[in-house]
Amino acid sequence: MTRFRLTSTIFVVWITHHLALGHYTAYDYGFDVHGRVKREVGQASRVVVRGDGGPDIRVRQEIRQLERDQDVWNLYILALSMMQFTDQSEPTSWYGITGIHGMPHQTWGGVAPTPGNKDTGYCTHSSVLFPTWHRPYLALYEVFLYSLIQTIATWWPENERGKYQEAALRFRIPYWDWATPPPPGESVLPSSVGGSPYIDVNGPNGVQRIANPLFSYTFRPLNLTSFRQSPWNLWSTTVRSPTTTGLGAQSNNSLVALNLDQNQRSLSQRLYILFSNYGNYSRFSNNAWIPLLNNASYDSVESLHDTIHNLAGGGGLGQPNVQGGHMSFIPYSAFDPIFFLHHCMVDRIFAMWQFLYPQAWVTPTAAILNSYTTSRGQIQDSQTPLTPFFINGQGDFWTSDGVRNFTQFGYTYTELSTGPNNSMRAQADVKKDINHLYGLASPANIFLTELRSQGIRGNNRMRPSEKRGNKATAAAAMGFNDGGLYREWIANIRVRKQALDGPFTIHFFFGRPANDADPQSWTSTPNHVGTIGVFTADKFGMGGMQMGGLDVSGTVPLTTALMSEFAAGKLASLESGDVERFLRRNLVKRIVGPGGKVWRDVSRVEGLRIAIASSSVKAPGSDDELPVWGEVEELFVL
Ligand SMILES: *[C@@H]1O[C@H](CO)[C@@H](O)[C@H](O)[C@H]1NC(C)=O
Ligand SMILES: *[C@@H]1O[C@H](CO)[C@@H](O)[C@H](O)[C@H]1NC(C)=O
Ligand SMILES: *[C@@H]1O[C@H](CO)[C@@H](O)[C@H](O)[C@H]1NC(C)=O
Ligand SMILES: *[C@@H]1O[C@H](CO)[C@@H](O)[C@H](O)[C@H]1NC(C)=O
Ligand SMILES: *[C@@H]1O[C@H](CO)[C@@H](O)[C@H](O)[C@H]1NC(C)=O
Ligand SMILES: *[C@@H]1O[C@H](CO)[C@@H](O)[C@H](O)[C@H]1NC(C)=O
């Protein structure tokens, strides 16, 4: 198996430091565009998130796919840019909408904070409302971008107007699929997002070079009354893997791309396991670790989402003494344009998961953290208002029950063509897509490949993986029995969320990283196994959430990496005894915390517990099935 195919073949060098961002501006339409938008887009769509589906249900596409539809792409870029250049005091400006999530902790749509909660944002984390709250949030953003796009389309000269108005109807927000292998020669980080601070866009007034609205957001102005802590009061533009903690920090998107590429297989496996083995909503939905709940449920869609936040923000890995950028910190993350691309992917995962487990849903659970309108200890259920998202003009809010059927927002995803659907056929179709997109890195697929090579075809239509030669060896290691049973290995990780007073990342290697003293080299070290990110804030950033006592959990799958070790002759078998001996000797942990500080002695990190767990798993016998996990048992604590 080649776990590190991507990092070894791709070297992306993107324009980063030598171009001053301030240099690029908004699109020049040749008239006072903001006055006109105010008149034409109107107030109605400004605060209410309509649920009538709009004119019809359209597919939200992957960002690389949307980019191929040039007319829609131009409109999308123009509308994003316009939001970013709209006065920050407007509720539907970039700052207004992204500011709902965390900073600047301001009231939106007149929805006041409940007592004691004014120092937080509206977002709900470590909560059963995590997936459902972000759904109307995305819908609000989409509804507003959509209406902006309809308006912009009317500004083209008459001979082209029809074409753009037609394209405008096709628009739905794109998602960024960070788990599926990127197209050959490309990085997981799309070049439209990380490649360049400017973009040439074809608008109603011709082709112009403007600031790339997917690359960063520039605060106009950076409000020093709201942003008091360093470095937030120094960084006037959102950054990823910032080059310094001080003034003049630039994004190093090449480094972000390397980190994402190195982790793609691990992310893909986590997602595949979530789909296969997390049918319980309470466990799937959020990262809060509830004592002794279940050895099989350390992961969650929120925990996987956290890891992407840290990889995209850059938690210091590869750049000693430098802290992560905006994406790594809950309260500042939404300002970075990659946030909505990422969350659209999270919503898509949630929607696909709903197809697999149509009966599973929000059950009443006490809130663990504060948000702007809910307090710690308060019971949250499927009727809890998802503030500040109005469902009508009478001041009622969306609820989790209300957003369960997402097609009423007028969107769906390719894999789901229609809305929530209990039919077995629809479920089998989704499973097929999951196998196709996220199953490649899973050992479960080796069994299917084996079946196929023996002429037992089922109804497979999966892509063959690259290294067929090694598969047979790997399959031998798995010791599949006739029923397709084999053993999976995972690291269960639990830690105090505020252990290091800021976001941190735990990296796993087999053996020491090639150059242990130089974290910068870790991004390309071949013995890297996986990374888990803890997404948080320092005590100033989100003190109001009261994250003090919270433990969070997540996982790093180990099986595929173990199979590589087997293929390399370093591991005798995947049997418990051999694996335990191997992991005790070889599994190396490194923690990179705020400021790029590296912890080698993990016992100094509060509440950190890493246990190795294992389960017998039944591989799918055809590509419209998912693996079936047995009981997950913890075997030893590292
Ligand atoms: C800056 O933030 C403060 C506090 O949130 C607010 O009162 C003020 O209006 C903001 N200033 C500008 C220019 O946006
Ligand atoms: C960005 O990161 C890459 C990969 O670690 C490194 O080679 C490059 O020097 C960095 N660029 C800057 C400007 O720091
Ligand atoms: C889901 O998990 C929660 C927490 O462990 C548990 O209380 C609940 O009974 C489970 N629900 C189902 C349907 O198994
Ligand atoms: C988790 O695994 C440990 C060790 O195998 C076991 O003692 C414990 O009962 C398990 N917990 C649950 C909830 O299954
Ligand atoms: C979901 O909403 C759509 C659009 O509002 C509607 O046509 C469809 O019947 C709904 N589906 C279910 C299962 O309620
Ligand atoms: C459910 O999905 C099946 C298979 O894709 C499709 O034939 C059927 O029309 C769908 N039903 C609804 C109510 O959308």
CATH number at residue 31: 1.10.1280.10
Count the alpha carbons within 13 Å of 545 in the hemisphere toward its beta carbon: 29
Residue 456 and residue 571 share a domain: no
Q: Which two tokens stand for residue 526?
A: 């071949």
Q: What integer is the mean pLDDT of 149-155?
A: 95
CA angle 300, 260, 512 (to 5 degrees): 90
Number of domains forming the structure of the chain: 3
8 Å CB contact between 517 and 598: no
DSSP annotation of 608 reads -
Q: Tell me the pLDDT tens digit for each residue of 494-519.
A: 888 777 777 788 889 999 988 888 77
Distance CA 240, CA 311 (A): 9
Any domain includes 6: yes
Please give the torsion angle defined by the CA atoms of residues 418, 423, 425 and 429, in that order, rounded to the nearest 10 degrees: 50
Phi/psi for 201 (5° steps) reads -125, 140
Please say if the pLDDT value at position 141 is more than 90: yes
Residue 467 and residue 368 share a domain: no
Distance CA 181, CA 159 (A): 41
Distance CA 527, CA 269 (A): 17
Cis peptide leading into 221, omega within 30 of 0? yes
Distance 587 CA to ligand 6 centre (A): 47
Protein residue closest via CA to atom 13 of ligand 1 = 223
Q: Tell me the pLDDT tens digit for each residue of 357-399.
A: 999 999 999 888 888 888 888 899 999 999 999 999 888 999 9
Q: Note the ligand closest to the C-alpha atom of 421.
A: 6
Any domain includes 246: no
Q: Note the ligand closest to the C-alpha atom of 635.
A: 4
- Predicted TM-score of the model (pTM): 0.91
From first CA to last CA, the distance across the chain in angstroms is: 26
Q: Which two tokens stand for residue 181?
A: 């292998």
Q: Which two tokens stand for residue 177?
A: 């699929």
Residue 546 and residue 464 share a domain: no
Ligand 5 pocket, 408 CB below 6 A?
yes
Nearest one of 171, 125, 62 to 415, comparing CA atoms: 62
8 Å CB contact between 335 and 105: no
Any domain includes 288: no
Distance 566 CA to ligand 3 centre (A): 37
Q: What is the mean pLDDT of the chain?
A: 85
Q: Which two tokens stand for residue 577?
A: 């005894």
Residue 16 and residue 164 share a domain: yes
Q: Which pLDDT score is estimated for 209?
A: 97
Q: Which pLDDT score is estimated for 465?
A: 37
Protein residue closest via CA to atom 12 of ligand 3 = 280
How sure is the predictor about 202, in pLDDT bands with cuts at 50, 70 and 90?
A: very high
Task: Tell which atom from ligand 3 comes closest to the C-alpha of 359.
Answer: 13
Q: Which two tokens stand for residue 607?
A: 């509440």
Task: Tell which atom from ligand 4 comes closest to the C-alpha of 292.
Answer: 13
Q: Which residues line the pocket of ligand 6, CB cutoff 6 A?
A: 418, 421, 423, 425-426, 429
Residue 544 and residue 406 share a domain: no
Q: Which residue has the tokens 């008239």?
A: 31
Task: Tell which atom from ligand 6 comes closest to the C-alpha of 425.
Answer: 4
Q: Which SS3 state, helix, strand or coil, does residue 545 take? A: helix
Of 454, 479, 504, the one marking the end of a domain is 479
Q: Tell me the pLDDT tens digit for each residue of 427-473.
A: 999 999 999 999 987 888 876 776 666 654 433 333 333 333 444 45
Q: What integer is the mean pLDDT of 411-437?
A: 87
Q: Note the ligand closest to the C-alpha atom of 295.
A: 4
Distance 225 CA to ligand 4 centre (A): 50
Q: Which residues contact 551 (CB under 8 A, 6 or more apart)?
A: 288, 289, 494, 495, 496, 497, 607
Any domain includes 370: yes
Q: Note the ligand closest to the C-alpha atom of 361.
A: 3
| Substitution site in 352, 355, 408, 423 for ligand 6 pocket (most atoms within 8 Å of beta carbon) | 423
Which of these ranges, 27-31, 46-50, 203-207, has the smallest mean pLDDT?
Answer: 46-50
8 Å CB contact between 341 and 65: no
8 Å CB contact between 360 and 280: yes
Residue 151 and residue 25 share a domain: yes
Of 479, 502, 536, the one marking the end of a domain is 479
Distance 182 CA to ligand 1 centre (A): 41
Protein residue closest via CA to atom 3 of ligand 3 = 282
Residue 528 and residue 459 share a domain: no
Any domain includes 175: yes
Any domain includes 260: no
Which of these ranges, 114-128, 265-279, 424-438, 609-623, has the smallest mean pLDDT?
Answer: 114-128
Residue 399 and residue 457 share a domain: no
Q: Which pLDDT score is estimated for 46?
A: 53
Residue 208 and residue 59 share a domain: yes
Distance 361 CA to ligand 4 centre (A): 25
Ligand 4 pocket, 611 CB below 6 A?
no
DSSP per-residue letters across 219-251:
-SS--TTT--STTTTT-SB--SS-S-SSTT---
Q: Which residues line the pocket of ligand 2, CB cutoff 6 A?
A: 16-17, 243, 252, 254-255, 258, 318, 520, 523
Ligand 1 pocket, 107 CB below 6 A?
no
Nearest one of 96, 147, 142 to 122, comparing CA atoms: 96
Protein residue closest via CA to atom 3 of ligand 6 = 426
Nearest one of 377, 384, 371 to 116, comparing CA atoms: 371
Ligand 5 pocket, 421 CB below 6 A?
no
Residue 331 and residue 373 share a domain: no
Whole-number Cα distances in Å, 223 to 95, 237, 313: 11, 12, 21
8 Å CB contact between 182 and 6: yes
Q: Note the ligand closest to the C-alpha atom of 420.
A: 5
Cross-strand pairs, 413: 60
Any domain includes 4: yes
Range of the domain at 127: 1-214+353-411
Of 479, 504, 533, the one marking the end of a domain is 479
Residue 509 and residue 471 share a domain: no
Residue 605 and residue 542 share a domain: yes
Any domain includes 470: yes
Q: Tell me the pLDDT tens digit for each residue of 542-586.
A: 556 555 667 778 889 999 899 888 888 899 888 889 999 999 999
Please give the torsion angle defined by the CA atoms of residues 527, 525, 439 and 305, in that order, rounded to the nearest 10 degrees: 110
What is the torsional sign of CA 516, 518, 520, 525?
negative
CA angle 140, 145, 151 (to 5 degrees): 135
